[in-house]
Structure 1
Amino acid sequence: MKVGLEFGEFAWAGGPAQMADTIARFARTADESGVDLLGVGDHLWQGPHAGGPEQPWLECFTTLTLMAANTRRCRLAPIVAGVHFREPALLAKAVTNLDILSGGRAMLGVGAGWDADEASGMGIGFPGVAERFDRLDETLQVCLRLWESEPGAERPFTGRYYQLERPLLVPQSLTRPHPPIMVAGGGERRTLRLVARYADACNLYPSPDLADKLEILRGHCATEGRDYDAIEKTIIMPFDLGPDGERADELAETLRGFTGLGVHTAIGIIFGPDPVAQAEIVGNKIVPALA
């Protein structure tokens, strides 16, 4: 099993003046210790689970770019981009730029979004859930259309929500045919069908029904003509390492139990004032225990 890390908060010692240095040191530590994937949540506000909008939060893609400059091997991804935040062409351009600037290490993590208060507070449209999933479907189509475009041979896209007269992306991503796509969420009727239809990876919570979700994904893959085994299965959860890493062995044992379900990658959300120290613990204890 591979290990990824995602920031759960930015309320660190030193405040904004030290954030760039903290992120750079965190990224280097994780990269050098064998962490496979680094992610940043795509929000404008901190969520209600960690103090709400009065707590600090950094924009996703600029933070990922700083991490790209301080790593050499790990993958980089928004986990995950909310479909309501950007037009599909802008999302594809941002991921393509991240791929180029990282030397071909970007992923597109995307989902239907969830924080209505954040959207209304910041003046961003937040359609109902059915429309957001329709837009997610079209967004994935647009991204794939852009990643296959060639100058002079573009194919216009006409959808219900998005119309592109000339879908052209120059330069193209280094990763071909396109950066891997991760569709997040465990919705059985729509989300997992979108995984089977378009994605290279799913992203699920390790809930008691995880095995059932994966079987439903297997069924959607059969319907869509996709190889279920070719889709990377990822889970995301808080990593409770303890103040000095005393819970790391217990966490590693818990994660090891998910390998029997076919989980490939565990993405840990980390909290606390010192993310660099937590990256060191993950690299020293979790990564080798799961290798």
Structure 2
Amino acid sequence: MRLGLQVPSFTWSENQAALGDTFATIAQRAERAGLYSLWVMDHFFQIQMVGPAENEMLEGWSALAFAAGRTNHIKLGTMVTGVTYRHPGLLVKTATTLDVLSGGRAYLGIGAAWNEQEHKGLGVPFPPLAERFERLEETLQIAHQMWAGDDKAFNGTHYTLERPLNSPLSIQKPHPPILIGGTGEKKTLRMVAQYGDACNIFARIGKDELQRKLGVLQNHCQTLGRPYTDIEKTTLDVIHLTKDGRDNTLSPNAAIDMFASLAEQGIDQAIFSMPNVSDPEPFELLATRIVPEVEKIKVAGR
């Protein structure tokens, strides 16, 4: 089983001049601890579930490029890019650039977008939900075409690309893995089965609901003739690690048990954020006690 770290907040101190050094340190600690991946949200305002809109929020792809320059092998992805934020041709170029310059470490995390506040605040058009899903599907089609090196014209309902040239091509073959965020059963999970390489589900929905969502994904794979095992199953959670589990936090043993339970449910990679992410303690625990044990855990169905 694999573990990944999401960094959803950049509010660590009142000294904004130290923000870059702190983020670099977090990325380096994650890599040294043996984590498989590092993720940032692709938002422009902080989201209400994490903090006030006015809190610090870095642009996601620039932040990943910065992290790539400070690390060597950890995978890098957005959790997730809203389809409305960037024209699909430019988004594919951005993801390809990260993949090439990082030596083949990029994920493309993408979803239908939802945060109307930041759209209106920055003047980004926010179409109705149905249209956003249509745009998401066209963007996924464009990504596959461009990463296949096919530069013939793309003529969709929402996007027209006369020559979707993508040079250089990505290092990862056939392309950087596409993680599609969301668990909508009719559209999102069908798109995962048809176009994606990974899904992401909130761990907090519980074991029964998680299994039901995975069952829906499996049914879509069967309908489309896609092997279910092709899809990397990931979860997202918040965990507060301490060495002794004080104050209702997670001890290393409790964390290992939690990850083992997810592996039994067929989860390949457990991604989590940590409220104490700027402290060295959780990374020491990950490196010395948690990651070595979790790497031994076999994922059900693999």
TM bucket (normalised to shorter chain) is over 0.9
Q: Which residue of 2 aligns with 1:7?
A: 7
| Amino acid corresponding to residue 139 of structure 1 in structure 2 | T
Task: Give the secondary structure class of the aligned counterpart of 1:235.
Answer: strand
Partner Cα separation in structure 2 for residue 268 and residue 275 of structure 1: 15
| Structure 2 stretches lacking a partner, 5+ long | 296-302
Pairing 1:71-220 to 2, within 5 Å after superposition:
71-149=71-149, 154-206=151-203, 207-208=205-206, 209-220=209-220
**Offset at residue 278 of structure 1 (A):** 3.3
**Offset at residue 228 of structure 1 (A):** 0.1
Pairing 1:48-63 to 2, within 5 Å after superposition:
48-63=48-63
| Amino acid corresponding to residue 267 of structure 2 in structure 1 | V
Q: 1:58 to 1:144 in 2, by over 3 A?
A: same
**Offset at residue 192 of structure 1 (A):** 0.3
| Amino acid corresponding to residue 127 of structure 1 in structure 2 | P
Taking structure 2 as the reference length, the TM-score comes to 0.91
Q: Deviations over 1:64-99 (max 9, x none)?
A: 011111211111101111111001011101100100
Q: Which residue of 2 aligns with 1:266?
A: 270
**Offset at residue 244 of structure 1 (A):** 7.1
Q: Which residue of 2 aligns with 1:27?
A: 27
Task: Give the secondary structure class of the aligned counterpart of 2:49.
Answer: helix
Partner Cα separation in structure 2 for residue 6 and residue 15 of structure 1: 22
Structure 2 contact 8–273 (Cα < 8 Å) conserved:
yes
Q: 1:21 to 1:39 in 2, by over 3 A?
A: same
Q: 1:4 to 1:46 in 2, by over 3 A?
A: same
Q: Which residue of 1 aligns with 2:241?
A: 241
- The answer to which of 224-233 and 276-285 deviates more is 276-285
Task: Give the secondary structure class of the aligned counterpart of 2:27.
Answer: helix
Task: Give the secondary structure class of the aligned counterpart of 2:237.
Answer: strand
Task: Give the secondary structure class of the aligned counterpart of 1:13.
Answer: coil
Partner Cα separation in structure 2 for residue 81 and residue 211 of structure 1: 25
| Amino acid corresponding to residue 190 of structure 1 in structure 2 | K
Task: Give the secondary structure class of the aligned counterpart of 1:3.
Answer: strand
Partner Cα separation in structure 2 for residue 172 and residue 218 of structure 1: 31
Q: Size of the alignment, in residue pairs?
A: 288
Structure 1 contact 23–66 (Cα < 8 Å) conserved:
no
Q: Which residue of 2 aligns with 1:225?
A: 225
**Offset at residue 265 of structure 1 (A):** 0.2
Partner Cα separation in structure 2 for residue 259 and residue 273 of structure 1: 24
Structure 1 contact 7–271 (Cα < 8 Å) conserved:
no
Q: Which residue of 2 aligns with 1:283?
A: 287
Structure 1 contact 237–267 (Cα < 8 Å) conserved:
yes
| Amino acid corresponding to residue 290 of structure 2 in structure 1 | I
| Structure 1 stretches lacking a partner, 5+ long | none
Partner Cα separation in structure 2 for residue 239 and residue 95 of structure 1: 28
- The answer to which of 10-19 and 227-236 deviates more is 10-19
| Amino acid corresponding to residue 286 of structure 1 in structure 2 | I
Structure 2 contact 240–276 (Cα < 8 Å) conserved:
no
CA RMSD of aligned residues (A): 1.6
Structure 1 contact 201–234 (Cα < 8 Å) conserved:
yes
Q: 1:43 to 1:36 in 2, by over 3 A?
A: same
Higher relative contact order (CA 8 A, sep 6+): 1
Task: Give the secondary structure class of the aligned counterpart of 1:4.
Answer: strand
| Amino acid corresponding to residue 251 of structure 1 in structure 2 | A
**Offset at residue 283 of structure 1 (A):** 2.8
- The answer to which of 68-77 and 219-228 deviates more is 68-77
Structure 1 contact 200–231 (Cα < 8 Å) conserved:
yes
Taking structure 1 as the reference length, the TM-score comes to 0.94
Q: Which residue of 1 aligns with 2:255?
A: 251
- The answer to which of 46-55 and 160-169 deviates more is 46-55
Q: Alignment identity in percent?
A: 40
Q: 1:243 to 1:272 in 2, by over 3 A?
A: farther
Structure 1 contact 5–269 (Cα < 8 Å) conserved:
yes
Partner Cα separation in structure 2 for residue 218 and residue 273 of structure 1: 34
